[in-house]
Structure formats: structure tokens, C-alpha cells
Amino acid sequence: MSESWIEPGGHERPLALVEGPLASFAVGFVAWLVERGYRPRSVRVQLRLLADFSGWLADECLEPAELARDDVARFLRGRRERVLESTGPRVLGPLLGYLREVGVVPQRLGSMDTPVERLLAD
């Protein structure tokens, strides 16, 4: 993706390379963050998170509409092994909030918590 965004103050910044099922949402996500007062560094961190999450969804062959709580937990566990910052359970809050608003992920993430649900999922 060769697009860029203009941060407050007029500085042009390239968008992080985002591939996978969430790539088309990068520009909208940046605008959403800026509207909510996120500082440029925080926007860049969130954009890297979007790129990581979108790549992970692609690697796992998951569609955003099928996302479950367990999937988010697996992503965060894997991210903790690779990344030192921004790995807590709340780190996906802004991204998931945006994706819910635009109707990409379910309003409430399902869970496969019971043994029967896990068995049916296999």
C-alpha cells in the first residue's frame, strides 16, 4: 500500500504496509484514530498492529467476520513472543472497536469455551 496520511501539523506519513483481509481498512482506521485525538506515534503503533493482525488472519485463513475470542487470545499470545511492546489484552481495543463500527467483525466475539463447542469446531 503506497498511500499516506497527513498527521496534525501537516506532516505526511506513509501508511504501514498492510496486507491480508484488513488491508482495505487501513486508511479508514487512521482517520478514525486521528478523529479521536490519537497522537502520530500512537497512530503508527496502531497501524503496525493492524498490519500484524491482518497478516496473522491471512496466515490462519480466518475471515474477520468469523473472529472469536479464542482467536484474539491466540494472536496476542503469539505477538507476546515476538514483540516487546503493545501486547496486553487491551491493545486490540481500538482496532476491534473500529472494525465493529464498520461491521467487519462481530459486535460480540464468540467463544469456544465448552468442550462440546471445541469438539464441534474440530
DSSP state letters, 30-95: HHHHHHTT--HHHHHHHHHHHHHHHHHHHHTT--GGG-BHHHHHHHHHHHHHH-SSS-STTTTHHH
Mapped onto helix, strand or coil, the DSSP state of residue 5 is strand
| CA pair distance 115, 87, nearest whole angstrom | 28
pLDDT of the residue at 114:
46
Put simply, whether the predicted model's pTM sits higher than 0.95 gets the answer no
Q: What dotted CATH number matches 4-121?
A: 1.10.150
**Low-confidence residues of the chain, pLDDT below 70?**
1-16, 83-89, 109-122
| CA pair distance 30, 14, nearest whole angstrom | 11
Q: What is the pLDDT of residues 43-78, one digit of tens each?
A: 888 998 999 999 999 999 999 998 888 888 889 888
pLDDT of the residue at 64:
93
